[in-house]
Amino acid sequence: MRDSATAIEAARRLALSAALLAGSVLTDSAIEHYRGSFRNRAMYTPLASAALAVGAGLLAMCDPRPAPHRGRSAVNTVAAAVGLAGLGFHIYNVTKRPGGVSWLNLFYAAPLGAPTALTFAGALGWSAEQLRAQPARGSARLFGMQAHQALAAISAAGLIGTAAEAALLHFRGAYHNPAMVLPVTAPPVGAALLAWSVCSPAPKPRGLARMWLKLTAFLGFAGAGFHAYGVSRNMGGWRNWRQNLLNGPPIPAPPAFTALALSGLAALLLRGDRS
């Protein structure tokens, strides 16, 4: 059971998560598509949709009303659709290169994670609006499931997918810094604990999941700091920022972990964890 105040609080947390994830996609895609000289005019589309999703998420985060907003729902639906279309474009970009699906092309072709993250951002933002439409008492439902289960599934899948992309790119970097192991190992553990907390009626798994998700959220911001340090180590450092920001490592990417951890915490709130 839940009350409307809990649903609104979870919706606002979820909106913050969606805005942060869309912001990560916006800045990362802007850098990558600028590096690609916007050869295809469609490369502007995810930037526009991600920017709108950021705005919708921030507005929803500040909105205490119980009613959903049709405009914000539409923006998030479009963002999710653009992300799916972008994933198709990126898969085509990988497969059309000599060698097809190979380590080299997965390392250096269009990344599959960015458009997928935009789809997740749209799904989370849309879910935040749907929570506002639920009855004041009873079991909230999303995608045909109980809301906390659906959000836990989305968050866990997002954490595992983002960790997989980090594993790929950190493998390209030969794990030259031992800290590069953290975003590959910690988020999947958080995803597993989140799934366990949803399936178990005992409160202990929820406490462990909450602690680990908070650690994962911190890891996202810490990762941005590590990546900024990595940029500074390139030739010329920040004095040559125009080139070194393009060379990476990508500073906007790690906060995706923070966003997905926040959505997992929103799922725990709906599950009955009010901390």
The pLDDT tens digits of the residues spanning 61-107 come to 998 888 888 999 999 999 999 999 999 999 999 999 998 889 888 98
Give yes or no: residues 106 and 194 share one domain: no
What is the predicted pLDDT for the residue at 136? 45
Comparing 22 with 5, which gets the higher pLDDT? 22
CA 238 to chain centre: 27
Do 161 and 113 form a contact (C-beta atoms < 8 A)?
Answer: yes
Total tally of structural domains belonging to the chain: 2
Q: What is the pLDDT of residues 246-264, one digit of tens each?
A: 888 999 999 999 999 999 9
What is the predicted pLDDT for the residue at 18? 96
138, 169, 187 - which closes a domain: 138
How far is the C-alpha of 212 from the C-alpha of 11, rounded, in Å? 21
138, 161, 196 - which closes a domain: 138
pTM comes to 0.91
Give yes or no: residues 231 and 202 share one domain: yes
How far is the C-alpha of 74 from the C-alpha of 147, rounded, in Å? 20
Average of pLDDT values for 168-191? 93
Give yes or no: residues 30 and 110 share one domain: yes
91, 111, 138 - which closes a domain: 138
pLDDT tier, 128 (very low <50, low <70, confident <90, very high otherwise): very high
Ranking 58-72, 130-144, 183-197, 233-247 by mean pLDDT, the lowest is: 130-144
* 249's tokens: 């490592």
Give yes or no: residues 258 and 188 share one domain: yes
Give yes or no: residues 196 and 66 share one domain: no
Show the 3-state SS of the chain.
Answer: CCCHHHHHHHHHHHHHHHHHHHHHHHHHHHHHHHHCCCCCHHHHHHHHHHHHHHHHHHHHHCCCCCCCCHHHHHHHHHHHHHHHHHHHHHHHHHHCCCCCCCHHHHHHCCCCHHHHHHHHHHHHHHHHHHHHCCCCCCCCEECCEEHHHHHHHHHHHHHHHHHHHHHHHHHHCCCCCHHHHHHHHHHHHHHHHHHHHHHCCCCHHHHHHHHHHHHHHHHHHHHHHHHHHHHHCCCCHHHHHHHHHHHCCCCCCCHHHHHHHHHHHHHHHHHCCCC
Give yes or no: residues 156 and 87 share one domain: no
* 265's tokens: 């915490």
Give yes or no: residues 151 and 273 share one domain: yes
Domain span at residue 190 reads 146-275
Do 33 and 248 form a contact (C-beta atoms < 8 A)?
Answer: no
Give yes or no: residues 131 and 197 share one domain: no
Q: What is the pLDDT of residues 11-59, one digit of tens each?
A: 999 999 999 999 999 999 999 999 888 988 989 999 999 999 999 999 9
Give yes or no: residues 97 and 2 share one domain: yes
Q: Report CA-CA distances (Å) from 156 to 150, 189, 206, 272.
A: 10, 9, 14, 18
Give yes or no: residues 229 and 254 share one domain: yes
Average of pLDDT values for 186-204? 85
Please count the residues of the chain.
Answer: 275
